[in-house]
A and B are shown apart, each in its own frame.
Chain A
Amino acid sequence: MRDVAVISFSQAKSVRREADRNEVEILMPVVHEARDRAGLDKRVDFICSGSSDYLAGQSFAFVSGLDSVGAWPPISESHVEADGAWALYEAWVKIQMGYADTALVYGFGKPSMGDLPEVLALQLDPYTATPLWPDAVSIAALQARICLEQGVVTERQMAEVAVRDRRNAKGNRFAQLAGDFEVEKLLAEPYLVSPLRRYDCSPISDGASAMVIASGEVARKVCKNPAWITGFAHIAEPQELGVRDLTRSRSTEIAAEKAGVGKGRVDVAEIYGPFTHQELLVEKALGLDRSVKVNPSGGALAANPIMAAGLTRIGEAARAISEGGARRAVAHATSGPCLQQNLVCVLEG
């Protein structure tokens, strides 16, 4: 295996609605900042992006994202219809295979243009589930109820997750929801889609993030504190909710095992939990003990720029190493209904 490290990261401030900028206008400063911070003396060898056409409601919407990178003379470029964390995985493989030494990865989404919970019904089985138009909150609520009734999580624990993340987000200027909340008061709030309350759900966020990774030779030359990617794996579960055990995140468990999460002490974990109970399931699946600092950035419950939020978890974990003095960090990204697909990345200083 080649040594590969995160050498720079940048993100946009997440907002509920970017009224006055289109996707490229949101993305461009973020991409430029990541590239400038990387301090490379030539163009990156490979570019990979993550986005979804359904967020924009038009085909090939990701092509406009290329306006931000400068595609002439022709570049080596790829795209995943998924969170930027999976774009990062593709770029990492490209470097592992020796086809590139440096790569720029970005993810962007502007879900405010449509009705996101409804748009996400399109990721369900197109024959038997999508025609019923179950929104994303309802789908998550089905999982939450099973977890609650089987005693896997409690409503109090879920509220505590929301309180923790949004308190942590006070230190994150890119977050959308931050502040001090009280568990008791949250528990007194009405249900949104029972058994989920509004605070159990991540906000809808417009945003973007970008990252540059490099092989060991390059990273050591240009970066003082690279965050080395020492484990990386992603696993998918079946699409059908009925055949899955929704009380645990089996694919996170397997990905964590493959990425070697348990091989050393974890200082920081950045978890992409779009709903409070999902963050708890992932925390358990990663096998983290109580000493681990979870979501110092506030996680997805503080800002969920869909298609960038997973990449942002990895960026925040890398930052915890490069700037925050952490030695070993774990980042997680998820995609699909009820934590269907999960990615785990281990970073070390």
Chain B
Amino acid sequence: MPEAVPSLTAPHRLQYTYKRSTGPVLGRFFGGLRDGRILGVRRKDGSVMVPPKEYDPDTGEALGELVEVGTAGVVKSWAWVSHPREKQPLGRPFAYALVQLDGADTPLLHAVDAGGDERRMTTGMRVRARFAAERPGGIRDIECFEPTDEPAKGKAKPLAESELPAPVELVKVPVQLDYLYSAGQAASRFLRGLAEGKLLGQRCPVDGKVYCPTRGACAEHGVPTAGEIVEVKDRGTIVSYSVVRVPSENIQVELPFAAVTILLDGADSTFTHVMSETKLEDVHMGMRVQAVWQPRETWTTSMKNIKYFKPSGEPDAPFDSYKDHL
């Protein structure tokens, strides 16, 4: 078994903006926030839930009677964040808190700005919402809560149809998470091979098949391929292809191009890459191809070292030689 190697690592960012339909209850809630008002929903027992829900969490009954609660309330619990993360509501130390607004019977999770001073925080303190200057409709239309002397207002106010805020139909929730991937043993070997212009595969100890690239396992037998390392050729046979007409920032060739599945000579697993230096209509199953590498001085531990594949000019491979890989 080859000796363990340090793993290569690479940063990875998962980034996506969720666009969420709000529905009739949350839509009005966010519409309220946009107008600087806070709405709750009345449950069958008369109590008021903020934020409102479409269904009673205890009984499952549908809820829809929206009421207006105060924009100030009482801290029921709090957690002091002395080192805020970038995405969190405040850039200086602050508290996450459960705030029970005047007229509400359940607390709302939000942030409290106590001027960065934990000593100003107590359970039972009164706070009021500080609304954001720009309010697209969403929970962050409230920037945070802040301490206040404002007296309690009492009951929730029933709302006539005409007093309901216009609903926000859609909220946008951007998600961005940063990771540091480690490739692990098998992929690190493969990527280091690429930096030397080599395609390294590993052999399944059960049936001797060569996998390139490998995640470190033969998926068929469920065993590690941590044994023999095998260099495979940078030429092979197209076993399948498709024509791509949509752009991707990860692909360096011009549109349209053929994405191909290649059985590299010496490998028993297929490899996906792109074709160039050929007419699209000439690409076909059984076509012999070879890798076109970037200039040697630019090689790194990356698949991008191979620019694309091009026809090798050899005669087509017989169908039997690749039929098991379709």
Contact = CB atoms under 8 A, between A and B. Distances in A.
Contact of B96 (A69, A142, A238, A242): A142
Contacts of B215: 22, 24, 64, 67
Contacts of B182: 18-22, 113
A122 B18 CA distance: 12
Interface in A53-73: 54, 56-58, 64, 66-72
A125 B109 CA distance: 10
B45 interface: no
A165 to B, nearest CB: 22
A133 B85 contact: yes
Interface residues of A, number: 60
Contacts of A68: 217, 222
A131 B138 contact: yes
B222 A142 contact: no
B81 to A, nearest CB: 6
Contacts of A67: 215-219, 222
Nearest to B52: A128
B180 A142 contact: no
B24 interface: no
Interface in B1-30: 4-7, 9, 12, 14, 18, 20, 22, 26, 30
Interface string B80-102: 11100101110000001110000
A134 interface: yes
B118 A194 contact: yes
A149 B224 CA distance: 53
30 contacts: A19-B182, A20-B4, A25-B217, A28-B216, A57-B12, A58-B12, A67-B216, A68-B217, A70-B219, A70-B223, A71-B220, A113-B181, A114-B180, A118-B177, A127-B20, A129-B109, A132-B88, A132-B109, A133-B88, A139-B96, A141-B96, A142-B77, A142-B78, A144-B79, A191-B82, A193-B79, A193-B82, A196-B79, A241-B98, A241-B109
Contacts of A134: 88, 96, 109
A272 B175 CA distance: 29
A149 B182 CA distance: 43
A122 B175 contact: yes
B165 interface: no
A115 interface: yes
Interface of A: 18-25, 28, 31, 54, 56-58, 64, 66-72, 113-115, 118-119, 122, 125-135, 137-139, 141-146, 149, 191, 193-196, 238, 240-243, 246
A150 to B, nearest CB: 10
Interface string B131-158: 0000000111000000000000000000
A169 to B, nearest CB: 26
B7 A20 contact: yes
B6 A70 contact: no
Contacts of B18: 126
Contacts of A28: 216-217, 222-224
B185 A20 contact: yes
B173 interface: yes
Interface of B: 4-7, 9, 12, 14, 18, 20, 22, 26, 30, 49-51, 53, 57-58, 76-82, 85, 87-89, 96-98, 106-111, 118, 123, 138-140, 171, 173, 175, 177-188, 215-224
Contacts of B87: 118, 133
A69 B14 CA distance: 28
A201 B246 CA distance: 47
Contacts of A71: 219-220, 222
B177 A24 contact: no
A72 B77 contact: no
Nearest to A54: B177
Contact of B109 (A128, A149, A191): A128
A348 B35 CA distance: 60
B184 A24 contact: yes
B78 to A, nearest CB: 6
Closest 5 CB pairs of A and B: A70-B222, A22-B184, A141-B79, A67-B217, A238-B57
Contacts of A143: 77
Contacts of B49: 242-243
A141 B180 CA distance: 27
Most chain B beta-carbon contacts within 10 A, residue among A25, A68, A135:
A25
Nearest to A135: B85
B5 A20 contact: yes
B179 A114 contact: yes
Contacts of A25: 184-186, 216-217, 224
A70 B220 contact: yes
Given A122-B175, A146-B76, A21 B184 contact: yes
Given A19-B182, A57-B14, A113-B182, A242 B108 contact: yes
Contacts of A115: 85, 177-178
A122 B177 CA distance: 10
A125 B49 CA distance: 15
Contacts of B4: 20
Contacts of B53: 240, 243
Interface centre among B173, B180, B219 (most CB of A within 10 A): B219
Nearest to B226: A25
B77 A19 contact: no
B127 to A, nearest CB: 15
